[in-house]
Amino acid sequence: MDIKDLATLPRGEMTARPAQPRARGRMLVSAKLRAGRSRISDLHQSGSLKALFPHGSSTALQAVMLNTAGGVTGGDQFALTAEAQAGAHLVLTTQAAERIYRAQPGEVGQVRTMLRVAAGARVDWLPQETILFDHCALDRRLEAEVAPDARLLVVEPLIFGRGAMGEVVHSGHFLDRWRINFGGELIFADNLMLSGDLQATLDRAAVAQGARAMASLLLVAPDADRYLDRLRAALGPSGGASVIRPGVLFARAVAVDGFALRRHIIPAIQALSGADIPKTWTL
C-alpha cells in the first residue's frame, strides 16, 4: 500500500502504524508559607511535565503547568502531586488547553493528579480546558486529601472536538474519576464517563442536548455554602449548583462551545476563589 492509498483509507483502519514513543511526565510541587507568602518548598519534575512560577503581587504561589509533549495520546502517562503545606496557598493552572489526541486502538492515555491540602492551607486547581479530539482515549483521575480547616477549589472545563475545525467526536473514550477526602473521609466522588460515539451521547436529552462543552466545579471549604448564590448567578440557566453536604459545594454547567462556557466559568472562578483568575486564562 502506498501513501496515496493510505490517504484514502478510513482513518479508523490505520492500525498498522508502528508503535510511537509515549510521553511520560511526573511532577511534585509543594508550597510552604514563609514570611506571609507561599513559596516553593519542594519541586521535582521529569519528562514532559514542567511548571513555571510567574512572579506576581499575590501572596499565593502560582504554578503554571506545561505539557512539553503538546498533548496527550494513547499510552501517555502523566502524574502530578501538588501540595500546600500548613497555611500555604497554591494555585495551579495550565499554560494552554490540554489536547487529547487520537489514540491508537487499545491504548489509553493516563493522567493522575493528587492534591494535598494541609491544615489552614488552600489549593486552587484551575487547568484550562481539556479538548477531546475524535478517537481520543483518556483515563484521568483526580484525588484530593483535604485537612478539616483547609480549602480546595477544583474547576475542570471540557470541550468535545475542535469546534473551529468543525470536528465532531464520533468515537472516543473519556473517564474522569474524582475522589475527594476530607479529614480522611470520602466526601465527594464523581465518575464522569463518555464512551463510544461521544457526540451521540452529548446529543441526548438529560446529557447535554447537543452542547459541546461542559464543566464540573467543586469547592470544599468550611464556608462553602456562602458561595452558593454567587455561583448560581455566574453559571446562569445552563448550570446548577448545590451544597451537597456541609462544606461541599458542587456545580456543573453545559454550553454550546468552549467560548460560551468561558463566559460562565470565568465569573464562576472569580466568585469561588475570591481572587482574579490566573493570567494564562485571559491571554
Partner 1 sequence: MTSDPALLLHQWLSPSFPVGAFSYSHGLETAVAEGQITDAASAQAWIATALEHGAGLSDAILLAAAWRAEAGDPGALIDLARALAPSAERLVEADRMGAALARALTALHGHDLPDAPYPVVLGRAARLSDIPLPLTLRLSLQAFAANLVSACVRLVPLGQTEGQGITLALMPLIERLALQAEPGDTDLIGTSAVLLDIASMRHETLNTRLFQS
Q: Which is nearer to partner 1, 64 or 217 (CB)?
A: 217
In the complex, least distance from residue 79 CB atom to partner 1, rounded to whole angstroms = 19
Cβ pair 260, 267 in contact under 8 A: no
In the complex, least distance from residue 168 CB atom to partner 1, rounded to whole angstroms = 17
Phi-psi region of 240 (alpha: psi -120 to 50; beta: other; left: phi over 0): beta
Number of residues that bind partner 1 (CB under 8 A): 37
Q: Which is nearer to partner 1, 175 or 266 (CB)?
A: 175
Cβ pair 95, 66 in contact under 8 A: yes
Q: Which is nearer to partner 1, 114 or 243 (CB)?
A: 243
In the complex, least distance from residue 103 CB atom to partner 1, rounded to whole angstroms = 18
Residues in the chain: 283
Grid coordinates given for 25: 511526565
In the complex, least distance from residue 117 CB atom to partner 1, rounded to whole angstroms = 17
**Contacts with 155 (C-beta within 8 Å, 6 or more apart), sequence order:** 125, 126, 127, 215, 216, 217, 218, 265, 268, 269, 272
Q: Which is nearer to partner 1, 60 or 198 (CB)?
A: 198
Site string for partner 1, 116-155 (x = CB under 8 A): ----------------------------------------
Site string for partner 1, 180-199 (x = CB under 8 A): x----xxxxxxxxxxx----
Residue type for position 232: R
C-alpha dist (Å) from residue 262 to 97, 129, 137, 153 = 12, 9, 24, 17
Binders in 227-256 for partner 1, by CB under 8 A? 232, 237-245, 250-254
Strand partners, 154: 125, 218
Q: Which is nearer to partner 1, 91 or 253 (CB)?
A: 253
* 3-state helix vs strand vs coil in the chain, percent to 5: 20, 50, 35
Site string for partner 1, 210-229 (x = CB under 8 A): ----x---------------
Q: Site residues (CB under 8 A) for partner 1?
A: 175, 179-180, 185-195, 201, 204-209, 214, 232, 237-245, 250-254
